[in-house]
Amino acid sequence: MQVKRRYTLGESKLAMAYYEGFVQSGSALYTTAENARHFVILDRFRSYESGTKWGRFHCQCILSPGSTLTIYAFAADAADTQADGLNQYFHDSSVLWSQKRARFVESGVCFVNHEDVLLYALAGEYLWIALEIAGSGGAHGIDAGQGERIREMFLDSQGDNFMQTFPEIYQEEGGFFHRYMSVFSSAYQDMADRIADMDRYLDPGTAPMPFLVEMAEWLGFSAEGDFLDENMLRSLIRELYPLNRMKGTKEVIRRLIRMMLGEEPVIVERNRMEGYIPHDNMDTCQRLYGTSMQDVTILLKREGDENLQAQMMYLLDQFKPARCRIRLVFCPRGDRFDTYCFLDHNAVLSAQREGSMDGGIRMDGTIVLK
């Protein structure tokens, strides 16, 4: 019994294909605007078994109204030198596409406007597949929004399917019963592949983005909205279990910021500052550190922006102590005279000041420790 194999067309496989009128981006091909016809000849597939029966080819193709997708395929048992020569022929830019297409039409099969095609009629150690988009066309290129593109391509060798469970009299290839049962065979294989691939949905490093949101909710974290990008959410999910165990503490705030920003924050608790604030600096300290005993100020040594502040507050609000009010203060590094700084008419030069560490002095950019 033939063993089922799946050939996935990722970025490296597409890089070995020959195409005109397309540009590659990752594992997808986008049409370009040079002409109205676009085609790609995929690099040969090899099973290393003579007489291999090929199964289903799938691609996801987004077309503009008036465009047509045609899939060509043929298989053959050939010596290595013959297969290499045919591969070179398909990659030869001096040979017209019409001549290459004629070779597919004469030796194989073609399908029009189908994203799933059954190649049961083809048998051979080597298989070649070509795809062509022809028509009026639409938006082109990677930056053209919902332009025409081909992606998510894979090929199955036939392997074990429903047909092999029936008596031989019913196994006529290409017959009505064969085509009818192939629909259920393909659906069953897709379901079996998803079940076999289920472990990747439970791994924060490989799970798709929509499933990451569900995974975060299982662990008690609401990840709805666009507050967190994908990389940040994956990092957070890996640490959610220990973070939940220390929720409501100062340490969880410190650990969240260290994990997300890669720096050690300065956390100032207002209730620990009584008696250390000079009276002449009271107004400044209240604006910076708040007036309530529940106020906590986090000082970050970086430039701030609204997006970063919204992300951090969204995180901290779900882990902070009850009734705690958090404010983020971004403290960018000041300029020096040897860094080509520019002083406008509102700029002043602050005088150096000396202070003692136990005198409640604020460590701003003008304090020098001796």
Q: How far apart are CA 324 and CA 316, in angstroms?
A: 10
pLDDT band at 370 (very low <50, low <70, confident <90, very high): low
Q: How far apart are CA 85 and CA 294, in angstroms?
A: 77
More confident residue, 113 or 168: 113
Q: How far apart are CA 27 and CA 11, in angstroms?
A: 4
pLDDT tens column, 170-190: 777 667 777 777 777 767 777
pLDDT exceeds 90 at position 40: yes
pLDDT of residue 41: 94
Query: Average pLDDT, whole number, for the chain?
Result: 80
pLDDT exceeds 60 at position 158: yes
pTM value?
0.54
Q: How far apart are CA 136 and CA 282, in angstroms?
A: 72
Written as one string, the DSSP assignment of 167-231 is: -GGG--TTSHHHHHHHHHHHHHHHHHHHHHTGGGGG-TTTS-HHHHHHHHHHTT----SSSS-HH
pLDDT band at 111 (very low <50, low <70, confident <90, very high): very high
